[in-house]
Amino acid sequence: MTDVETVAKRRVRKAETGEREKGARESSTLQLRPARIPDATQIVQLIARYANRGMMLHRPYGEVLENIRDFVVAVDRGRVVGCGALHVVWDDVAEIRSLAVAEEYAGRGIGRAIVEALVVEAERLGLPRVFTLTYQQAFFEKLGFVVVDRETLPHKFWKDCFKCVKFAYCDEVAMARELE
Ligand SMILES: CC(C)(COP(=O)(O)OP(=O)(O)OC[C@H]1O[C@@H](n2cnc3c(N)ncnc32)[C@H](O)[C@@H]1OP(=O)(O)O)[C@@H](O)C(=O)NCCC(=O)NCCS
């Protein structure tokens, strides 16, 4: 079992407990695991829900496939209800990106579980730091991230930013978390 799966099992327990407390009739099959190729379509669709509202960047199908090993997914009864990716940018930093939890599953600890699983993976890789660009400052603060000057992010990171329609007027907050 990978580190991601181990941490996922531990973290998802909280989400399952939340579901039981909400009185769900069917027992939950909520599972957090590394993404697989057949998940790619649902990942694109989940991200699109928020990207269509300008809350995050779209990820085209081909890009998700190429980076499928970056992704962790939360799955309930075969449905992808959460996703997030860890993308190595340089030898000392990776980006946490494409984080999304379906609205009907919000507030159950799934977002936290995904980020923690990605952090464990970053630590396994030997990275000292992860960062994210986000509108969800309060959420990431709860997970130990602090606001940083975006100028401190590695130059290689900007190659993705150049592709973004918001490049000239980006209002996302840069946040980072130092790792053990
Ligand atoms: C942001 C998002 C990933 C949170 O997922 P979630 O599963 O609902 O979050 P969790 O239940 O794991 O919340 C973890 C903690 O953060 C808090 N939190 C969640 N969303 C929050 C928000 N928008 N603002 C402030 N706190 C938030 C929760 O209350 C919880 O706090 P607690 O541990 O003290 O109880 C989800 O709302 C989402 O997909 N948003 C739209 C897409 C998006 O903006 N993605 C981020 C792109 S970088």
Please indicate whether residue 134, judged by its CB atom, sits closer than 6 Å to ligand 1: yes
Please indicate whether residue 106, judged by its CB atom, sits closer than 6 Å to ligand 1: yes
For residue 50, is it within any domain? yes
For residue 170, is it within any domain? no
For residue 146, is it within any domain? no
Please indicate whether residue 4, judged by its CB atom, sits closer than 6 Å to ligand 1: no
Residue 95 pLDDT > 50, yes or no? Answer: yes
User: Would you state the pLDDT for residue 171?
Assistant: 82
For residue 172, is it within any domain? no
Domain range holding 88? 3-128
pLDDT in tens, 62-73: 999 999 999 999
Query: Best of 136, 160, 170, 171 to mutate for ligand 1, by most ligand atoms within 8 A of CB?
Result: 136
Q: Are strands 93-101 and 129-134 parallel, antiparallel or unpaired?
A: parallel
pLDDT in tens, 130-172: 999 999 999 999 999 999 998 888 776 776 676 676 776 778 8
pLDDT in tens, 9-48: 555 555 555 554 444 444 568 999 999 999 999 999 999 9
Query: Best of 32, 47, 112 to mutate for ligand 1, by most ligand atoms within 8 A of CB?
Result: 112
Burial (CB count within 10 angstroms: exposed 0-12, middle 13-18, buried 19+), residue 14? middle
For residue 90, is it within any domain? yes
For residue 111, is it within any domain? yes
Nearest CA among 32, 168, 31, 174 for reference residue 93: 174
Q: Report the interhelical angle of 3-21 vs 110-125 (nearest 10°).
A: 170
Total domain count, the chain? 1
Alpha helices in the chain (DSSP H): 3-21, 40-51, 61-66, 110-125, 137-142, 158-161
Q: For the domain that residue 91 is a member of, what is the CATH number? A: 3.40.630.30
